[in-house]
RNA sequence: GCGCCCCUAGCUCAACGGUAGAGCAGCAGAUUCUUAAUCUGCAGGUUCCUGGGUUCGAGUCCGGGGGGGCGCACCA
């Protein structure tokens, strides 16, 4: 927001609201009540209390003495009787506070309470006359003071930049935001659980790399002072993971934060999360099988269903998902069989006819890929595996046994977006070397996104990479689908933003 | 990068170019069954910043700057 806001110059209102809260805190301290106690022993969460006592008649005393802790989200003073809502990680429970039965300390704390304060409450589980499960509080502890007022309890927090910059209050004020991130973490937990169950080992590989490989993208650059060398932030963990397979880890995966120095929009974040998994002795078909299992089970586990609606479009994840050869599908749509071996001018003409923008240095394979990306992909809603991509745009994938210009590679398309990618890994060192040379020529032509030659990787292949199936899944996009949100920023806790105005 | 839109009280939002308002939150009071509690009263503002003008008058219209959103292009 405005910027003269540091230094306390804009001050007035917020300052006085905070001053009130500060004064209450200090008042308690003067009465000998520590406003920042070091610990509190909780004996029950809100969910546990509801589990134990839901369904009781009104005005019942259970005899169950509990100590609850959480944040105060609502206070309804009623003279000598007050109601409050205490919210913890599991849910919320009502506090019922009667002046006649509160301890002296509880009375003092209650008098100096504000919305947003962390409190610990001791008392008996009862139901109110209206039948709501409540804690009939006898003692009350301030656990930490909220010196700043929370957003509107009913309308929540709507200002988008505040939601992203101060995610903590977005989570506090907007249950919807909390729901989305619960789904995110459940999704990731499910992916991890499944892979571990299938004997994959979770590993971690370098984020700072001498050269960023494993994908085609512009990297972020940085510098290591100790070695006086330039480094890139990784754009994909692929090459290191395959080196681990060379080293004998037959099944590995990494849930990797990747960094790409490219556009920021609803579907792209410079910092995003990918799952990559490699499995020795498998091929591209095993990769598709694994991808389908992982995605379906993640959706079931995190959302409890397989149908989702995003932006008015219905997506059904129920399998098995169709597998469509790219060239067949393209033929149906453009009315002509294309192949990477076709003369560039002819493929380019098809691109022109379908309004696909091209660059002069692109070969037939790249042009075919662009046709897929801009003509075919946007028509997808339910999941489809597209198989058989030009080798020209797949520098790390094995060529197909019966067509050396096509790679044994799939992309998983859902809702007009690429969700996953995978292939039979190229494990022939000389061919990998040759592919890198081809990419180097692209660099020479000015292509900023060609794959750099990685000699350490080729050397690793020379020690022998077994036949290997590899997959990569875009975790953020998967979460967007399962949580039914349209902006990638809504599934990333702290998305990249310009810094707030400096003091 | 280009185009369109937005920025008003702590929060959510009003104000044909005409004295900046409401709800919630806050403060004071009433209230032992509320749960968006209710009732009475009070207070709360450099309208993101900055400069100029149609002019008597700018939150509103124009220029510059800042932040954000959406769309297009590149990308996953």
- Say how far A184 CA is from B24 C1', in Å: 31
Q: Which ranges in A426-492 belong to alpha helices (H)?
A: 429-444, 455-462, 475-483
The answer to whether A176 CB sits below 7 Å from nucleic acid chain B is no
pLDDT the model gives residue A322: 97
Rounded Cα distance, A405 and A403, in Å: 5
pLDDT the model gives residue A262: 87
pLDDT the model gives residue A218: 85
The answer to whether A124 CB sits below 7 Å from nucleic acid chain B is no
The answer to whether A72 CB sits below 7 Å from nucleic acid chain B is no
Chain B: nucleotides under 7 Å from a protein CB? Answer: 1, 8-13, 23-27, 30-38, 44-46, 48-49, 66-76
pLDDT the model gives residue A77: 92
Which residue's CA is nearest to the C1' of nucleotide B7? Answer: A1
The answer to whether A471 CB sits below 7 Å from nucleic acid chain B is no
Yes or no: say if A315 and A414 are a contact pair by the CB < 8 Å rule.
yes
The answer to whether A225 CB sits below 7 Å from nucleic acid chain B is no
pLDDT digits (tens, 9 = 90+) for A32-59: 999 999 999 999 999 999 999 999 999 9
- Residues (pLDDT < 70) of chain A are 1-12, 443, 445-450, 501-503
pLDDT the model gives residue A419: 95
The answer to whether A111 CB sits below 7 Å from nucleic acid chain B is no
The answer to whether A503 CB sits below 7 Å from nucleic acid chain B is no
pLDDT the model gives residue A437: 87
What is the DSSP-derived secondary structure letter of residue A365? H
Q: Which ranges in A90-219 belong to alpha helices (H)?
A: 104-111, 160-165, 167-173, 175-197
Q: Give the nearest nucleotide to A265, CA to C1'.
A: B70
pLDDT the model gives residue A5: 32
The answer to whether A436 CB sits below 7 Å from nucleic acid chain B is no
Show the tokens assigned to A377: 């992909």
Rounded Cα distance, A4 and A502, in Å: 9
Conformation bin of residue A131: beta by default, left when phi > 0, alpha when psi is -120 to 50:
left
- Say how far A5 CA is from B52 C1', in Å: 26
Q: Give the nearest nucleotide to A128, CA to C1'.
A: B33
Among chain A residues 290 through 349, which have CB within 7 angstroms of nucleic chain B? none
Which residue's CA is nearest to the C1' of nucleotide B68? Answer: A161
Rounded Cα distance, A349 and A356, in Å: 10
């Amino acid at each position: 927001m405005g910027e003269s806001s540091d230094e306390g110059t804009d001050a007035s209102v917020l300052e006085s609201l905070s001053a009130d809260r500060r004064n209450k805190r200090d008042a308690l301290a003067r009465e000998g009540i520590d406003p920042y106690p070091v610990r509190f022993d909780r004996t029950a969460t809100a969910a546990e209390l509801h589990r134990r006592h839901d369904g009781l008649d009104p005005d019942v005393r259970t005899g169950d003495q509990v100590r609850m802790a959480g944040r105060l989200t609502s206070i309804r003073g009623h003279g000598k009787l007050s109601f409050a809502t205490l919210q913890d990680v599991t849910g919320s429970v009502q506090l019922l506070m009667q002046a006649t039965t509160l301890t002296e300390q509880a009375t003092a704390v209650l008098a100096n309470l504000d919305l947003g304060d962390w409190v610990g409450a001791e008392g008996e589980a009862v139901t109110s006359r209206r039948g709501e499960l409540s804690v009939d509080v006898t003692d009350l502890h301030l656990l930490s003071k909220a010196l700043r007022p929370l957003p509107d309890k009913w309308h929540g927090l709507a200002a988008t930049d505040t939601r992203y910059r101060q995610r903590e209050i977005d989570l506090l004020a907007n249950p919807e935001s909390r729901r989305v991130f619960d789904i995110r973490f459940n999704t990731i937990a499910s992916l991890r659980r499944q892979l571990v169950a299938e004997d994959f080992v979770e590993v971690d590989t370098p984020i700072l790399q001498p050269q960023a490989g494993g994908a085609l993208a512009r990297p972020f650059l940085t510098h290591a002072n100790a070695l006086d060398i330039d480094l890139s932030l990784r754009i994909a963990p692929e090459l290191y993971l395959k080196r681990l397979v060379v080293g004998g880890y037959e099944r590995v995966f990494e849930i990797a934060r990747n960094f790409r120095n490219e556009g920021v929009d609803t579907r792209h974040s410079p910092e995003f999360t990918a799952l990559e998994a490699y499995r020795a002795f498998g091929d591209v078909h095993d990769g598709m099988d694994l991808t389908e299992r992982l995605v379906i089970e993640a959706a079931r586990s995190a959302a409890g269903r397989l149908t989702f609606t995003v932006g008015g479009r219905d997506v059904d994840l129920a399998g098995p998902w169709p597998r469509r050869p790219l060239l067949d599908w393209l033929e149906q749509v453009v009315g002509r069989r294309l192949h990477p071996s076709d003369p560039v001018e002819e493929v380019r003409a098809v691109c022109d006819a379908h309004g696909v923008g091209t660059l002069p240095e692109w070969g037939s394979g790249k042009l075919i890929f662009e046709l897929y990306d801009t003509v075919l992909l946007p028509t997808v809603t339910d999941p489809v595996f597209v198989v058989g991509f030009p080798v020209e745009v797949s520098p790390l994938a094995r060529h197909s046994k019966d067509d050396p210009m096509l790679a044994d590679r799939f992309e998983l398309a859902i809702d007009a977006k690429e969700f996953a990618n995978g292939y039979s890994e190229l494990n022939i060192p000389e061919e990998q070397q040759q592919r890198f040379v081809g990419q180097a020529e692209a660099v020479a032509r000015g292509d900023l996104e060609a794959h750099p030659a990685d000699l350490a990787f080729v050397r690793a292949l020379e020690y022998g990479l077994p036949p290997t199936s590899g997959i990569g899944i875009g975790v953020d996009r998967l979460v967007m689908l399962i949580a039914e949100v349209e902006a990638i920023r809504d599934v990333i806790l702290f998305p990249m933003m310009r810094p707030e105005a400096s003091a």
